Amino acid sequence: MKSLLLVWAALWRKPAATILIAAATTAAFTLFGLMIGLYETRQHMLDSARTDEIFVNLRYSDDPDITGLPLSVGAQIERLDGVASVGAYKWFGGYRANPQDQIWIDTVSEGMEGARPDAPITPAQWRLLFSNPSGVLVTRDKAKLLNLKPGDTFPITSRPNLRADEGRTWEFRVLAVVPEIPEFPDGIVMGNMHYIENAAPVANRALGYAFWISIKDASRAAQISKAIDHRFFNSATPTYSIPVKADALELAQLGANKTSMVLAVAGTGLFMILFLVGNAVARSVHERLPEFAMLHALGLRASRLRRLVFMEAAAPCLLGATLGTALALALTQLPPRARSMNLNLMFTPHLPSSVLVWAMVSAALLALLSSAIPLWKLKRMSVAEILAGR
């Protein structure tokens, strides 16, 4: 208890400097937490990406209104050798309460159940989805973010010309909340494509889709991808096919430069904290050498004096690590439109519990390094000379 009182008194000898150090340490560990969370999220995506599944999308189009493939492409792909199942999907977007409250629904066909056998959705939930045209399945984090639960209904206002009756309002109902799907770390709302199709103008139906394919032999993923693209090479809608695993690797590499940037910024921040805390502790020890000499003369052992110096360095580091990790976690929970700290990353970092452990270990190491010079100086202290004023 006496040691804590001494450390507390030392920290508040200069309140402004202590508060500044604590704030800077918190900022550095906020970046540190986001960096670790980003790395963990990316690794989870890579580890969970399947080798026996393929994405198929539109390669390019001269018409800006054509953003996907016709449903008939999926039927032709399903007949190719080695293909097990084909699921079609198309994004449908709009807003709920106001234009800033954007929401996207991934509408899918019945074939998605066979194309995604690894998805954490039960056969009963798939049947429920396809027997309720306006129903949706929502992943847990997305449901929490959107404040949705099973049985809730919510309207979406879409852009014009998506309905044959010229309306813009669509009513959806939450059928179930399902576990997270690794390929969608930010969560997903999954709907029934027939709800949108049946309401669309006749000329716009069965258009604008991409496909998720499961294959019989994972070793043939690249070969089948090439076969699909060759099949539609000269068509009006050429395809771009890529194995899911390869797509995950491309996404990771695309975000590698941004990850390295965050790593560099966080590393620089921790280095500056090392310099800041080390300089503050060294100055504090230098100014209080007579105090340390008096304590030593009164019987306080040298090992305890060194422990006091380390605790003085550790206090702002550990406090900053705790607050910084908490702030990083809070930032990942904000809605995308409010998450200015998202740093334009490829996906939102998700912080595992191990982030706090890493932050605490790093904070202890920073404290040890920043107190090294003051401890060395304290070890060389001559009590007699200091008390004599020399």
Task: Supply the DSSP string of 334-366, one letter for each residue.
Answer: S-GGG-GGGTT-SS-----THHHHHHHHHHHHH
Q: What contacts 360, CB < 8 A, 6 or more positions away?
A: 318, 321, 322
Considering only CA atoms, which of 256, 366, 341 is closest in space to residue 34?
341
**Residue 344 buriedness (CB in 10 A; 0-12 / 13-18 / 19+):** exposed
**pTM, to two decimals:** 0.65
Q: What contacts 241, CB < 8 A, 6 or more positions away?
A: 54, 55, 56, 57, 224, 225, 226, 228, 229
DSSP single-letter state for residue 301: -
% residues pLDDT > 90 (the chain)? 33
Contact 41, 187 (CB under 8 A): no
Query: Per-residue pLDDT tens for 213-266?
Result: 999 998 999 999 999 999 998 888 899 999 888 877 766 665 555 556 666 666
Whether 83 shows a pLDDT value over 90: the answer reads yes
Whether 361 shows a pLDDT value over 70: the answer reads yes
Query: According to the model, what pLDDT value does residue 172 have?
Result: 96
At 288, the pLDDT band (50, 70, 90 cuts) reads: low
Give whichever of 204-213, 337-346, 350-359 has the largest mean pLDDT.
204-213
Contact 377, 320 (CB under 8 A): no
Q: What is the largest CA-CA distance in the chain?
A: 98
Separation of alpha carbons 305 and 296, rounded Å: 8
Query: According to the model, what pLDDT value does residue 11 have?
Result: 62
Whether 345 shows a pLDDT value over 50: the answer reads no
What dihedral do alpha carbons 29, 31, 35, 38 form, nearest 10°? 120
Mean pLDDT of the chain: 79
| Token reading at 296 | 């030593």
Separation of alpha carbons 349 and 31, rounded Å: 11
Query: According to the model, what pLDDT value does residue 129 have?
Result: 96
Q: Three-class SS string for 324-337?
A: HHHHHHHHHHCCHH
Whether 177 shows a pLDDT value over 90: the answer reads yes
Within 13 Å, how many C-alpha atoms sit on residue 213's CB side? 33
Percent helix / strand / coil, the chain, rounded to 5: 55, 15, 30
User: Is 102 in a helix, a strand, or coil?
Assistant: strand
Q: Using the structure block, give the residue that is written with the tokens 């996906």.
A: 347
